[in-house]
């Protein structure tokens, strides 16, 4: 059993994730291999989440460059914990997941695919014949559904074929998917056979702990998606924790940092626990997306940082506490605030609708300096030359922050 402080654990996680590290990532593929999955998101009030996840770990990243790596065959899209960009060298594991999807007989989407096999096969044959194909390139067979999933049948068929692994997204243009048959998307030399079942438990556990550093059974359930945990451990805490315990002294070590429940650390990282791995004193804040890998499963920031977060864009306006798409603020090794931001691309303005400073250390002169420098970096990434701040909590910081931000771009 390793004993550590909560601060040591947080610093180890941030180092492992590449958010506060002496060895920052130097490429997109390095980010993907370090954290494994990069969630794809459609919300664009600021740069989409897949861009922010990479930018916060690779400072020279340019918006949209992830799609170049997909087109080159270094990354691929599939369901991990959600739809993600994934390192191509992990395809064999996802080939196993695709095989499990082909075996499924339940679920409305699976039933739809089985009931409309004629449409599915027709769409597959067209893509095989024509090559990379957009949904809009295929004729429309009207759906009778009036739900928000009111896709035309051909779109559903494309997505169904991707779920079961017969099609993949070959590339995107303007965020629009171009599908092709899997054999033409996966590069030569990549193992396309499903990973053997006996290899998967250790592979998943190693992957999760290499990505996070410290985790518990819930992260095994969620980091690569619930399908994995259902098939391997019946999604049961006791089954997962039994395998984690069996790997102690080999792949993992149990760690006590004052939290209830059983937490473990990857054996490769135990030597870092006693060190101070992260030089954070004067580093600018980072503005994180709600779907960052340390935030997207809400138990993780709540347990490890005591940061209670929920995304409010799906909440009725009257019930929102912070704003539409509030971004957590990472200051040093803590989550110390949040900002409801909006990028006005045509005018080059970053609007801070509401800014919340929730910790005394962010409310010092040094803290405000770190905050404003981080906001400047965020604005530069978005190619914004002006930053406008509408509201600050606590209000006494409004004038000081506003004055500093006025100088950005001038």
Q: Is residue 276 scored above 90 in pLDDT? A: no
Q: What is the mean pLDDT of residues 282-304?
A: 96
C-alpha 56/C-alpha 280 separation (Å) is 14
End-to-end CA distance of the chain: 54
pLDDT band for 273, please (50, 70, 90 cuts).
confident
pLDDT band for 408, please (50, 70, 90 cuts).
confident
What distances in angstroms separate CA 34 from CA 14, 23, 40, 68, one per listed residue? 12, 11, 17, 19
Q: What is the mean pLDDT of residues 82-89?
A: 98
C-alpha 165/C-alpha 311 separation (Å) is 31
Longest CA span, the chain: 66
What is residue 149's predicted lDDT score, i.e. its pLDDT?
Answer: 44
What is residue 151's predicted lDDT score, i.e. its pLDDT?
Answer: 59
C-alpha 339/C-alpha 66 separation (Å) is 25
pLDDT per position as a tens digit, 161-170: 999 999 999 9
Q: What is the mean pLDDT of residues 25-32?
A: 98
Among residues 364, 349, 353, 374, the alpha carbon closest in space to that of 397 is found at 364
Q: Is residue 148 scored above 70 in pLDDT? A: no
**Strand order across the 263-266 sheet:** 2-3, 252-256, 263-266, 214-215
Q: Is residue 119 scored above 80 in pLDDT? A: yes
Q: How big is the chain, counted in residues?
A: 410
What is residue 245's predicted lDDT score, i.e. its pLDDT?
Answer: 97
What is residue 406's predicted lDDT score, i.e. its pLDDT?
Answer: 86
- Contacts for 193 with CB less than 8 Å, ≥ 6 apart: 92, 95
Q: Is residue 140 scored above 90 in pLDDT? A: no
C-alpha 173/C-alpha 404 separation (Å) is 38
Q: Is residue 201 scored above 80 in pLDDT? A: yes
Q: Is residue 94 scored above 50 in pLDDT? A: yes
C-alpha 85/C-alpha 96 separation (Å) is 17
What is residue 109's predicted lDDT score, i.e. its pLDDT?
Answer: 85
The chain-wide mean pLDDT, for the chain, equals 93
What is residue 314's predicted lDDT score, i.e. its pLDDT?
Answer: 87
pLDDT per position as a tens digit, 322-381: 999 999 999 999 999 999 999 999 999 999 999 999 999 999 999 999 999 999 999 999
Q: pLDDT: is 317 or 28 the higher one?
A: 28
Radius of gyration of the chain (CA): 22
Q: DSSP readout, 233-302?
A: HTT-HHHHHHHHHHTBTTTEEEEESS-SS-EEEEGGGHHHHTS-----TTPPPEE--TTSTTTSSTHHHH
Instruction: Say which DSSP state 352 is in.
Output: E
Q: Supply the pTM of this predicted model.
A: 0.95
Q: DSSP readout, 103-165?
A: H---SHHHHHHHHTHHHHHHHHHHHHHH-SB-GGGS--------STT---HHHHHHHHHHHTT
- Tracing tokens 């690569």 back to the chain, one arrives at 224
pLDDT per position as a tens digit, 313-339: 888 988 899 999 999 999 999 999 999
Domains, the chain, ordered by start? 65-185 (no CATH), 286-406 (3.40.630)
pLDDT per position as a tens digit, 301-312: 999 999 999 899
């Amino acid at each position: 059993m390793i004993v550590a402080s909560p601060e040591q654990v947080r610093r180890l996680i941030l180092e492992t994730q590449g958010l506060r590290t002496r060895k920052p990532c130097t490429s997109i593929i390095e980010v993907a291999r370090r954290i494994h999955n990069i969630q794809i998101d459609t919300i664009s009030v600021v740069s989409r989440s897949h861009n922010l996840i990479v930018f916060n770990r690779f400072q020279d990243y340019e918006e949209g460059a992830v799609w170049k790596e997909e087109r080159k065959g270094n990354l691929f899209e599939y369901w991990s914990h959600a739809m993600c960009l994934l390192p191509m060298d992990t395809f064999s594991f996802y080939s196993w997941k695709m095989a499990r999807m082909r075996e499924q007989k339940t679920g409305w989407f699976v039933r739809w695919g089985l009931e409309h096999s004629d449409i599915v096969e027709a769409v597959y044959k067209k893509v095989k014949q024509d090559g990379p194909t957009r949904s809009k390139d295929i004729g429309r067979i009207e759906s009778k559904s009036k739900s928000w999933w009111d896709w035309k049948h051909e779109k559903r068929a494309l997505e169904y074929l991707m779920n079961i692994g017969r099609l993949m997204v070959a590339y995107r243009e303007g965020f629009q998917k171009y599908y092709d048959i899997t054999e033409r998307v996966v590069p030569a030399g990549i193992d396309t056979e499903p990973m053997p079942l006996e290899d998967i438990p250790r592979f998943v556990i190693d992957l999760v702990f290499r990505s996070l550093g410290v985790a518990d059974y819930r992260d095994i359930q969620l980091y690569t998606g619930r399908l994995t945990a259902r098939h391997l451990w019946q999604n049961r805490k006791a089954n997962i924790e039994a395998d984690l315990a069996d790997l102690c002294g080999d792949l993992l070590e149990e760690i006590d940092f004052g939290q209830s429940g059983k937490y473990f650390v990857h054996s490769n990282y135990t030597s870092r626990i006693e060190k101070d791995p992260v030089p954070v004193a004067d580093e600018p804040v980072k503005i994180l997306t709600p779907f960052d890998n340390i935030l997207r499963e809400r138990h993780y920031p709540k347990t490890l940082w005591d940061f209670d977060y929920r995304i409010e864009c799906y909440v009725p306006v009257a019930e929102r506490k912070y704003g539409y798409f509030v971004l957590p603020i990472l200051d040093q090794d803590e989550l110390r605030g949040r900002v409801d931001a909006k990028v006005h691309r045509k005018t080059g303005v970053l609007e801070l609708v509401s800014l919340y400073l929730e910790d005394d250390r962010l409310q010092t002169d040094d803290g405000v300096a770190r905050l404003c420098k981080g906001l400047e970096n965020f604005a530069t990434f978005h190619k914004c030359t002006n930053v406008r701040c509408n509201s600050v909590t606590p209000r006494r910081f409004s004038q000081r922050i506003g004055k500093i931000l006025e100088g950005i771009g001038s």
